[in-house]
Structure 1
Amino acid sequence: MAETASSIVVKHPDAEAFVASLLEASGVPTKNAKIVAWGLVQADLRGVESHGINRIPSYLARTRNGVLDPKAEPTITQVTPVVAQVDGNNGFGFPAAHAAMETAISMAQTFGIGMVSVKHSNHFGMSAWIVRQAVDAGMMSLVFTNSSPALPVWGGKSQLMGVSPIACGAPGGENSIPFILDMAPSVAARGKIHKALRRGEKIPKGWALDEEGKPTDDPERALKGVMLPMGGPKGSALAIMMDVFSGVLSGSAFAGGVTSPYDMSAPGDVGHFIVALKPDLFMGLDEFRQRMDVLYQRVVGSDKMEGVDRIYFPGEIEQLTEERRIREGIPFVQAEIDALNAEAARLGVEKIRQVR
């Protein structure tokens, strides 16, 4: 989104407080409301508006329709010293994923690695905020999830696999930033289609096909069709991999069975797979961080192709966006603010505070 003078700007603490107040008014326990709010605002700060606070109207609609339990608390079962399972109990995906990573980190601090499978969860927003939870604890991580059908398998034409993000991370060194990768196996995340529809924008051709299997720049037609996998069969295979590790393994829905967060007919039944790993298992931590410094410097210092001014490390553009938006605020369009304030009016809480 272009950050222009016409944008409506909200400071991130005000955005967090506003979202938490909406959630608490909807019956979400305070601790969980703060986790959800933090995860959503992290997406907006990093420029991933498709997974930011504009998800709130659809989330709250699901609670009102009884297909998401706002009061649910995740429960944890220890399987082995390094393996656990979290049952989201059909609550918000954010607290379930947060509890899973917290548990994985705790196990990794003692045993070097921790693996947690999550079942009966829901959409947890941007995966990078969970990777960030591990990085902040000095851990490497893998964060997998499955999602509702939006992508055909290679050679097919109907929605079957989810646009399920692949995310991982590692702490940086003294002279480098953390490595944070969060990407969809499709050409673009499906949330970007919803964002374009919400803002009345076109999408690039090559992102999706309409119901007739034709390329389209119309987000409404794209949402009735299919997303396109990146790299053809490679993107399709990665989406299937997410379903194996997140859905099949966990006992949650899989093979097209996950319900969309925009569908009010049934629980999501999303599955996740989360791993935390100590970075000093095979060498000292100082050496690991020095090696990350070398990697970072060699990546960003690579010879540039024609037309490229700067090479970025994975997650670096988002980090720079976050730094700017922490200073200046998060930009929204009027339609987005109106939708959020409509929820506030419905729940009897104060409207979102704006800078301009």
Structure 2
Amino acid sequence: MADTIFYCWQSDTLEKNNRFLISEALRQAITNLNDQLEYDETIGEDTLPIDIDHDTRGELGSVPILDTIKKKIDKCKIFVADLTVVGKTPAGKKLMNSNVMIEYGYAVHAITTQRMMNVMNTAYGSHADLPFDMKHLSGPVTYCLSKEATKQERSKQRDALTKEFQKILQKYIDKGELGKNEQEKSVATPDADIGLFVERGGKIGTDNQEGDLFFSKEGPYTYLHIMPVDKQSELSQHDCRQAVNEAHLGPLLEISIGGKPIPNGKGILKVSHNGDAKDVKSFVQVVRKTKEVWGADTLYMGEGATGKPTLNFYDWKRQLTLSFINYLRFCREYSKVEGAVKVRVGMNGVERMILDSGEIKARTHIHSDHIFDEFTIEDLTTSELDKLLNPLFKKVIEDCG
């Protein structure tokens, strides 16, 4: 499956000069880059390294538009918003399209401004007209086409925009953050939920004694996914099992490292549940072909003394850090991962949960439904790896502010 570039467009200004022109330039830039990248052309367009996405493209039926867009932004590699001025207040303050700004604001939280490539038609307003919190950011990519622009002028600006988009996207490719078909290498199914390799309630394995195992289908959860950037040598099932045993690898956030290794089609799985195999509360999955490590947990997202969904922030932070360090140690010393790894870690389904923490004077609610961070670790021998989770913890605290 392709890495997606999500395009957030507006139609308040002349569409042939904005919406469609930007889309054409972006598509051409992506086509040029895909021609330079390796992929299997015989399988179809799903194997293209990079693809464009927007609004509810590819969705069937009458779907909730905003929720669909949020999920797409969560999964996209690059976010592109048309920040062209579309109006002004009676006092003369310039305004951008309201829907664009809603999606932009969500993207800032979901994927950060480091993965944005925004664009602006300066015929309607300049960088100086952006809201205060956006003026200090670099960009956006600019071009200038008024309503009176000729066909030749549009063609010239489109070609220039294509070159600028391509130059910027090439930098992401060079850094290994775009065009690697990571989901194609990953074991995640197309309908997998955020941070998981299956959908909620999906089958994750089979135990000889307990039967089929299913990850808990309801409630909030924490997830951690570690994936090597480069192709790795494949582990045999025996070596994968031995590595899990020797590393004492346990389900995510579990204090106890007990539990037997369970072989499945992907590699080795370890689970924790309360006697119900159809309601696994926590697991870790090691994938022998890719050396990925997947972990998820619902236990620390339980009910507090009030009977309401509560997260004990201090305990959660401590256990997530311990699991993170242990999983990285496994990659470094036992599965022998070579090169850099990408990490995606977060919590999902947590909106309105109570955050109970000694670091906050009073109990407060989490406002966002999905909070996460992702980053690349170039060297697994780097010291102070535990500090790499601090940005995530900061996001959680700030979200409750």
TM-score range, shorter chain: under 0.3
Flag the structure with larger Rg.
2
Which is strand-richer, 1 or 2? 2
Q: Which has the higher contact order (CA 8 A, sep 6+)?
A: 1
TM-score (norm 2): 0.23
TM-score (norm 1): 0.25
